A and B are shown apart, each in its own frame.
Chain A
Amino acid sequence: MTSTHLEALASENGLERVGARPPFFRYLAATWHRRDFAATLARYRLQASMSENRLGLGWVVLRPILNAALFGTIFGLILPDSTRPDNFVPFLIVGFFIFEYFSSTLSGGARSIVGARSLVRSLTFPRILLPLAVVIRQLVELIPMLIVMIVILIVLGEPITWWWLMLIPVMMLMTVFNTGIALITARLTVHVRDLTQIIPLVSRVVFYTSGIFFDLEKVLADEPTLLTLARLNPVHDFIALVRGYMVSGNPIEPFMWWIAIGASLVTFGFGLVYFWKAEERYGRD
């Protein structure tokens, strides 16, 4: 029997190609149907990481605090006073906590497929569940982080206002952005395994260009082109928005919202399609 005969026989009997990438919306429906899998995987991974070291979930909160202390001390001494933002410590704390959310999703997303090879090679399910599980886990970890951040801000004497509630929509938007990033890096590392080596570097670059321990507006005041570029970095805008609503002396400008919303929608939409396109590739080698 020739190949064309077999193909005809298959379609005659209503047989479907195995492992074929389903149409986009059917793919999303299948993903929604198995959402429990992603949520449970996230929960189990979280529990496993908590039992690994003695402080468990404490590290989620301690890491940004220690980072903030280290960088705050070093750059507080090095940087000239003119570039140091007003209200330095709350400024720094917010920067580190919000950045931590981005960087952990970035590195988790990059490992989500390549790090679950035996699972991918033994069971069939929409692969998108793996990067989504990473985002869910980071979102769960974000809650204690935000609580600690708020406590620190209160202790440092920041006035509590109704504007603090704006933290919720900003973080929701950032989650949409992070999901897109996780989906894109999840596929990229499947194509080019070497990228896992570069991810920490990318994370560093975003770190230094997001103005976490210095005020970009002040440092780049004489360089309008660079300043525009820096403002286009969505991570910077998410941090700036949180600072604007929670730390006094940080004005919010409309462009921050526009860039945050635009970048989130574009990254998420592109990420979904980009990840889905390669569904048949995952677990192939």
Chain B
Amino acid sequence: MTDATVDTTRPTVIVDDVHIKYKTFASGKAASSTRALLQRQKGVRIVHAVKGVSFVAHEGESIGVIGHNGSGKSSLMRAIAGLQQPASGGVYASSQPALLGVNAALLGDLSGSKNVILGSLALGHSRAEAEENYQGIVDFSGLEEFIDLPMKTYSSGMSARLRFSIAVSRDHRILLVDEALSVGDKEFRAKSEARIRELRDTAGTVFLVSHSMRSILDTCSRVIWIDHGELKMDGDAEEVVAAYAEST
């Protein structure tokens, strides 16, 4: 760890010994007796996704997050965004971080246009602002002709584009981008990368989760490598990416 390099700029995100656990029903087994219903269920498996990660992020930094599939990157991002409460430890931030992910639709049975309005309102815009931003969001997403279809009919790429467009319609001081760029086509990727740089330059902190080392090196100055839920390396982008490439 490169803790020694104490940065003088203001910290924006502090991740303090975060543990994340998921409770899953491993095999969907029913409780064996009525008594078992009242006790801790045996069929429940605890998945320890993130095991004690700590780091400090500063103003104007763009941090790449790398690691294998299932290493806990997305869980960590959700915890930083406050969407997933850690089992122990805590995340502190100077303002509400916004997460852009590739999850499913917001409300699948509603049309894209309604999701745009609802998304803006949920982000804290007023009704008038939401309607004002509407055209800009739709234009950015490039989904004008599909905007009246229910969002559940969208392909994963389309829905990611719409979600990304909604999320970046508001200026965020702290932005978490979780592989959102990898699903779009070339043109959209270029557009969204430009928008991310713009957001970063307005004195924000950007986290970028990606499997594309090229886009990490293009946009990030610092890289965090997560391996099996633990922080394996944290430091200069090129150093960490080189070490990661060597290990795989």
Residues of A within 8 A of B (CB): 1, 3, 6-7, 9-10, 13-20, 33-34, 36-37, 40-41, 44-45, 48, 116, 118-125, 280-281, 283-285
Contact yes or no, B97 A14, CB < 8 A: no
Size of interface on B: residues with Cβ below 8 Å to A: 50
Q: Given the known A-B contacts A3-B17, A118-B104, are A18 and B99 also in contact in the complex, defined by CB atoms under 8 Å?
A: no
Kindly report which residue of chain A lies nearest to residue B85, judged by CB atoms: A280
Given contacts A18-B80, A19-B85, A34-B124, 11 further A-B contacts (CB under 8 A): A3-B17, A3-B54, A6-B16, A15-B14, A15-B93, A15-B94, A18-B92, A41-B107, A119-B122, A123-B123, A124-B81
Task: Mark B73-101 against chain A: 1 for CB-CB distance below 8 A, else 0.
Answer: 00000111111110001111110110101
A284→B33 CA distance, assembly (Å): 27
A113→B81 CA distance, assembly (Å): 19
Kindly report which residue of chain A lies nearest to residue B174, judged by CB atoms: A18
Kindly report which residue of chain A lies nearest to residue B86, judged by CB atoms: A19
Q: Across the interface, which residues of B come within 8 angstroms of A283, CB to CB?
A: 83-84
Q: Across the interface, which residues of A come within 8 angstroms of B101, CB to CB?
A: 122
A15→B105 CA distance, assembly (Å): 31
Stretch binding the partner chain, chosen from B61-69, B113-121, B185-193 = B113-121
Tell me which of B22, B54, B83, B121 contacts A121 (CB under 8 A).
B83
Q: Given the known A-B contacts A6-B16, A281-B85, are A41 and B118 also in contact in the complex, defined by CB atoms under 8 Å?
A: yes
Q: Across the interface, which residues of A come within 8 angstroms of B139, CB to CB?
A: none
Within 8 A of A (CB), among B169-215: none
Task: Mark B1-43 against chain A: 1 for CB-CB distance below 8 A, else 0.
Answer: 0010000001111101100001100000000000000000000
Contact yes or no, A44 B14, CB < 8 A: no
Contact yes or no, A122 B121, CB < 8 A: no
Q: Across the interface, which residues of A come within 8 angstroms of B56, CB to CB?
A: 1, 6, 9
Q: Given the known A-B contacts A40-B121, A122-B163, are A9 and B11 also in contact in the complex, defined by CB atoms under 8 Å?
A: yes
Q: Across the interface, which residues of A come within 8 angstroms of B48, CB to CB?
A: none
Q: Across the interface, which residues of A come within 8 angstroms of B109, CB to CB?
A: 48
In the complex, 22 of the A-B residue pairs with CB atoms within 8 angstroms, ordered by the A residue number, are: A1-B56, A6-B54, A9-B14, A13-B10, A13-B94, A15-B92, A16-B94, A18-B80, A18-B91, A18-B96, A18-B97, A19-B91, A33-B124, A34-B121, A34-B124, A36-B121, A36-B130, A44-B107, A118-B103, A122-B99, A124-B81, A125-B124
A120→B81 CA distance, assembly (Å): 12
Contact yes or no, B22 A119, CB < 8 A: no
B110 interfacial by beta-carbon distance below 8 Å: yes
Tell me which of A1, A17, A36, A119 contacts B54 (CB under 8 A).
A1
B126 interfacial by beta-carbon distance below 8 Å: yes
Kindly report which residue of chain A lies nearest to residue B126, judged by CB atoms: A36
- Which 5 residue pairs are nearest across A and B when measured between Cβ atoms? A19-B82, A10-B92, A15-B92, A18-B82, A37-B121
Q: Across the interface, which residues of A come within 8 angstroms of B82, CB to CB?
A: 18-20, 124
Contact yes or no, A16 B122, CB < 8 A: no
A118→B123 CA distance, assembly (Å): 15
Contact yes or no, B54 A122, CB < 8 A: no
Contact yes or no, B122 A125, CB < 8 A: yes
Distance in Å: Cβ of A118 to nearest Cβ of chain B: 5
Q: Given the known A-B contacts A9-B56, A15-B11, are A119 and B106 also in contact in the complex, defined by CB atoms under 8 Å?
A: yes
Which of B89, B93, B97: most chain A CB closer than 10 A? Answer: B93
Kindly report which residue of chain A lies nearest to residue B93, judged by CB atoms: A18
Distance in Å: Cβ of B145 to nearest Cβ of chain A: 20
Contact yes or no, B16 A34, CB < 8 A: no
Contact yes or no, A17 B90, CB < 8 A: yes
A125→B130 CA distance, assembly (Å): 15
Tell me which of B90, B93, B110, B123 contacts A48 (CB under 8 A).
B110
Kindly report which residue of chain A lies nearest to residue B166, judged by CB atoms: A123
Distance in Å: Cβ of A247 to nearest Cβ of chain B: 39
A117→B78 CA distance, assembly (Å): 14
A16→B90 CA distance, assembly (Å): 10
A40→B113 CA distance, assembly (Å): 12
Contact yes or no, A123 B106, CB < 8 A: yes
Q: Across the interface, which residues of A come within 8 angstroms of B122, CB to CB?
A: 34, 37, 119, 123, 125
A225→B117 CA distance, assembly (Å): 53
Contact yes or no, B118 A44, CB < 8 A: yes
Tell me which of A6, A7, A44, A281 contacts B114 (CB under 8 A).
A44
Distance in Å: Cβ of A282 to nearest Cβ of chain B: 9
Q: Across the interface, which residues of B come within 8 angstroms of A122, CB to CB?
A: 83, 99, 101, 103, 106, 163
Distance in Å: Cβ of A11 to nearest Cβ of chain B: 8
Kindly report which residue of chain A lies nearest to residue B3, judged by CB atoms: A1
Task: Mark B132-154 against chain A: 1 for CB-CB distance below 8 A, else 0.
Answer: 00000000000000000000000
Tell me which of B16, B23, B118, B121 contacts A3 (CB under 8 A).
B16
A16→B56 CA distance, assembly (Å): 14
Kindly report which residue of chain B lies nearest to residue A4, judged by CB atoms: B16
Contact yes or no, A44 B110, CB < 8 A: yes
Q: Across the interface, which residues of A come within 8 angstroms of B119, CB to CB?
A: 123
